[in-house]
Structure 1
């Protein structure tokens, strides 16, 4: 059986310096940098930024057009004000606004932005999902 977890998310980026600056402007601090890749420690996992050409080669697909894929990364917050503040910080850092935070059909509050490479992030407050003091999400069992 394969464990039900994700330990590392790697985003392919066109310009590593531009992407590092964007995430630094969000207040993130790299914990490791190697030629062509930057890693950020997150709560229980890591995020990597990897140059697109180097990532394609690492995957065994040199020259492949990787694009960004149909995926959304999400951060959940304890309240709506925190969502709004994070959204504004992303815009100041250079994010492209996709959807300004608003009340949504499922009873929560969320908005979307794209980073400089088009990777989509959702910022949300879900009143039905609990966050602990460190921000870890627990989905209640039904």
Structure 2
């Protein structure tokens, strides 16, 4: 059986310097084990990595193939709507492309979407049904 967890998310980027500048503008600090070809960010219980797109294709055994962006969304949840609005503005100021400004959504929360300079989509949300721990981590509540 395979454990139900994710330990590393790697984003393929076309320009490492531009990608690092974007995440730095959000206040993210690369981990000391980062190298010129790969940048790591320690997160709550997992690591986010930035890796050159062609190097990522080669690492996957797909040399010669261009990798596209998968249909997925990375998400950050916030304690309240103000946190979502602040994250939205910080992302736009850092160079993100706004996809959907934060708004009330059908499931009872508040969320918006932006794309980083390489097109990776991030959702920023406040879900009143999912309380966050003081460190910002999320554990789904028990079903009623």
TM-score tier after normalising by the smaller chain length: over 0.9
Aligned residue-pair number = 142
Which 4+ residue blocks in structure 1 deviate beyond 2 angstroms? none
| More strand per residue | 1
Match of 2:124 in 1: 123
> Which structure 1 residue ranges, 5 or more long, are not aligned?
none
Report matched runs for 1:1-142 at 5 Å.
Answer: 1-31=1-31, 32-142=33-143
TM superposition shift of 1:35? 3.4
SS in structure 2 at match of 1:19: helix
TM superposition shift of 1:138? 1.4
User: TM (normalized to structure 1)?
Assistant: 0.98
User: TM (normalized to structure 2)?
Assistant: 0.97
CA distance in 2, matches of 1:21, 1:104: 31
CA distance in 2, matches of 1:131, 1:28: 20
> Which structure 2 residue ranges, 5 or more long, are not aligned?
none
SS in structure 1 at match of 2:135: coil
CA distance in 2, matches of 1:124, 1:132: 15
Q: CA offsets per residue over residues 1-39 of structure 1, 9 Å max, x none?
A: 111000000000000100000000000000032231100
CA distance in 2, matches of 1:22, 1:99: 19
RMSD: 0.7
